[in-house]
């Protein structure tokens, strides 16, 4: 990602209030594990990462914005789970950061098609993928929006548990085949 993109995201996060701790969009009616290793891609200020850690997972959150990462660290510490969360500044244009297989990968409101294969390969057997993105369904097309049916098709190698799209948003919950 170009330095201008990093600066733009830093400015966006600097103007936001604290993150709300909560589940990703895809988890409304689906249970998430309460132990294991999770990766939160493009974690922003860490609201989903902290939610996962409060459930009992050890979480690595990555984001391009140093401002967001510092706020994520503060959020984890203020919730008493700083030891369960590790946050790193990472440019996902360079791929996923190195690490062990993940029991959960969350990619909330971020989409980079170049990472699809790496995400599938990084999931541990039985691992859960929760991904959401802006969608053309119910909204205008745009460079950061997925097309109708794109997420289920992109992650067809996984067992689809639930999916939805509409009102400009798409989401998928899927499990790696054991």
Residue 62 · residue 41 · CB < 8 Å = yes
Q: The domain 3-175: what is its CATH number? A: 3.40.50.150
Task: Provide the strand spans (E) within 49-158.
Answer: 58-63, 85-89, 102-108, 123-134
Quote the tokens at residue 66: 């140093």
Closest CA to 126 of 167, 165, 178: 178
pTM over 0.85: yes
Residue 154 · residue 113 · CB < 8 Å = yes
Give the Cα separation of 178 and 149 in Å (integer): 24
Per-residue pLDDT of the chain (178 residues; tens, 9 = 90+): 567 777 887 888 888 877 888 877 765 567 789 999 999 999 999 999 999 999 999 999 999 999 999 999 999 999 999 999 999 999 999 899 999 999 999 998 888 999 999 999 999 999 999 999 888 888 887 777 888 899 999 999 999 999 999 888 899 999 999 7
């Amino acid at each position: 990602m170009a330095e201008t993109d990093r600066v733009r995201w830093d400015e966006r996060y600097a103007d936001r209030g604290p993150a709300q701790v909560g589940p990703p969009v895809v988890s409304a009616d689906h249970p998430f594990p309460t132990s294991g290793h999770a990766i939160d891609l493009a974690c922003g200020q860490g609201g989903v990462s902290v939610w996962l850690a409060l459930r009992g997972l050890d979480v690595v959150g990555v984001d391009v914005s140093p401002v967001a990462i510092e706020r994520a660290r503060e959020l984890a510490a203020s919730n008493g789970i700083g030891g369960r969360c590790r946050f790193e500044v990472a440019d996902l244009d360079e791929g996923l950061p190195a690490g062990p297989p993940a029991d959960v990968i969350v990619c909330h409101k971020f989409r980079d098609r170049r990472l699809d294969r790496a995400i599938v390969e990084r999931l541990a057997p039985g691992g859960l993928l929760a991904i959401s993105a802006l969608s053309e369904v119910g909204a205008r097309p745009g460079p950061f929006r997925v097309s109708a049916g794109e997420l289920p098709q992109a992650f067809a190698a996984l067992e689809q548990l639930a999916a939805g799209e509409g009102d400009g948003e798409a989401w998928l919950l899927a499990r790696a085949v054991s």
